[in-house]
A and B are shown apart, each in its own frame.
Chain A
Amino acid sequence: MKVHLPNSAFLGNIDSFFNSLDMSDTNTLQISANKKWISVHPLVLAMVAALGQTVRPENIACEVFEAKSKHYFERMGLFRFLGVRSGIDVVEHESAGRFVPLTQIQSQEALSKFVTDMIPLLHLSPAHAEPIRYIVTELVRNVIEHAESPHGAFVAAQYYEKSNSIRIGIADVGVGIKKTIGRSHRVSGDLSAIGLALTPGITGTTAREGGTEQNAGAGLFFIKSIASINGDFFAIYSGSALYKLLRQHATKRHILHADPFRDRHSARENLPQWTGTAVGIDMMLDETEKFSALLEHIRGTYARAVRERRKERYKKPRFV
């Protein structure tokens, strides 16, 4: 496998990074990087760290980073997870640094601890912390419960002062969405599986409406809705497909759709095969709506979606 860390890869332009992944020869991992400047979304770090777990350390070849921004990758813990000596010295970051370094989470106990520790690292107010801990918890729990990855979830987050935003990346190298959703629903491909996973009330654990006693099939719909209302980017890449919720226009943010393909989005198929799931989300802190108000919007859409799907199964009268 080959990964090249480009000059820039954020959710707006991340498609080209995904497209550049070379997933052949899964026994080796070669990592190269832009020589001048590398500025990438935490999702990229989470993906590379997760990939690194699938290869023996001696089969990982990471070129010496020359870019001026190379210290960032040391500080975020990327080389540590790859078992690579970077030769980069970092001075302990100043107190204004607001980031969550790469973290591997393999159990519910580790997740609970991570969520508790994460918020102080990002220096968030309670109002901003609420949706972020919600999103991270639900996404990581999905990995622990459904991904079947022995390596768990890789998570990283970064605060960006210029845009006053938090960017979060979560990746696993598990079985992917198509396999988990396909256990209970008919799926035609990776993109249709992602679409179903984002639809309220659909879970891979049962075909039954309302889910099981332990799974409702609501988690990803909630997260997509939080991003939609706040006008944030949200991207999900699994198998060979990418679904990306684009930033919603301010006037349309409160229109939530149960069908993710009715939201303002882009979708791609035939990307290099990511054997697992990678999710990125950006949260613009200036535009974050009060969490309880946001939940009120979700409530209306969710109940309507379940009602409409139930109606679809009603028997129709026969007029003879």
Chain B
Amino acid sequence: MITITLHKVVGDFAENKDVARDIREKEILPALEKGDEVVVDFEGITGATQSFVHALISEAIRRYGGDALDRISFKNCNETVQKIITIVTEYMQESG
């Protein structure tokens, strides 16, 4: 299992899609490829944009469908961040 701590790379507002892309390509997708589980830790993050969350996890859901959500978990999310993650996971599964 790998844990990705976002705060140290995005600060308290997760909006930088370039950083999200790097995490997706270098950490999340390779871990899923190997069969590992991923924990994305939002500790210290007060908000996130839908664009950031989409860039972070949409490709994993496109590749692995709902199974991706059995292997990725989201830790220390406040209410707003939870809502945004939920929106992205729902529309990715709807459009799958």
Contact = CB atoms under 8 A, between A and B. Distances in A.
B48 to A, nearest CB: 9
A219 B42 CA distance: 21
A303 B51 contact: no
A116 B11 contact: yes
Contacts of B7: none
A67 interface: no
A112 B55 contact: no
B82 to A, nearest CB: 8
Contacts of A112: 11, 15-16
B91 A298 contact: no
Interface string B54-96: 1100110010000000000000000110011011101110111
Nearest to B91: A306
Given A210-B91, A211-B58, A213-B62, A218 B51 contact: yes
Contact of B59 (A134, A213, A307): A213
B50 A213 contact: no
Given A210-B95, A214-B55, A138 B49 contact: yes
A302 B86 CA distance: 11
A141 B17 contact: yes
A95 B37 CA distance: 50
B51 A219 contact: yes
A292 B47 contact: no
Contacts of A219: 49-51
B15 A137 contact: yes
B3 interface: no
Q: Is the interface of A mostly helix, strand, loop or mixed?
A: helix
What is the interface residue range for chain B against chain A? 20 to 34
Contact of A141 (B51, B88, B92, B94): B51
Contacts of B91: 200-201, 210, 216, 218, 302-303, 306
Interface residues of A, number: 36
Contact of A213 (B46, B49, B58, B96): B58
A298 B47 contact: no
Interface in A155-193: none
Contacts of B87: 295, 298-299, 302-303
A298 B83 CA distance: 10
A156 B16 CA distance: 21
Contacts of A209: 95
Interface of B: 11, 13, 15-18, 21, 24, 46-47, 49-51, 54-55, 58-59, 62, 79-80, 83-84, 86-88, 90-92, 94-96
In order of increasing CB-CB distance, the 6 nearest A-B pairs are: A210-B95, A213-B59, A295-B83, A209-B95, A292-B79, A216-B54
Interface of A: 108, 111-112, 115-116, 126, 130, 133-134, 137-138, 141, 145, 200-201, 209-211, 213-216, 218-219, 222, 291-292, 295-296, 298-299, 302-303, 306-307, 310
16 contacts: A133-B47, A138-B51, A141-B17, A210-B92, A213-B59, A214-B17, A214-B55, A215-B54, A218-B54, A222-B50, A292-B79, A292-B83, A296-B83, A299-B90, A306-B94, A310-B94
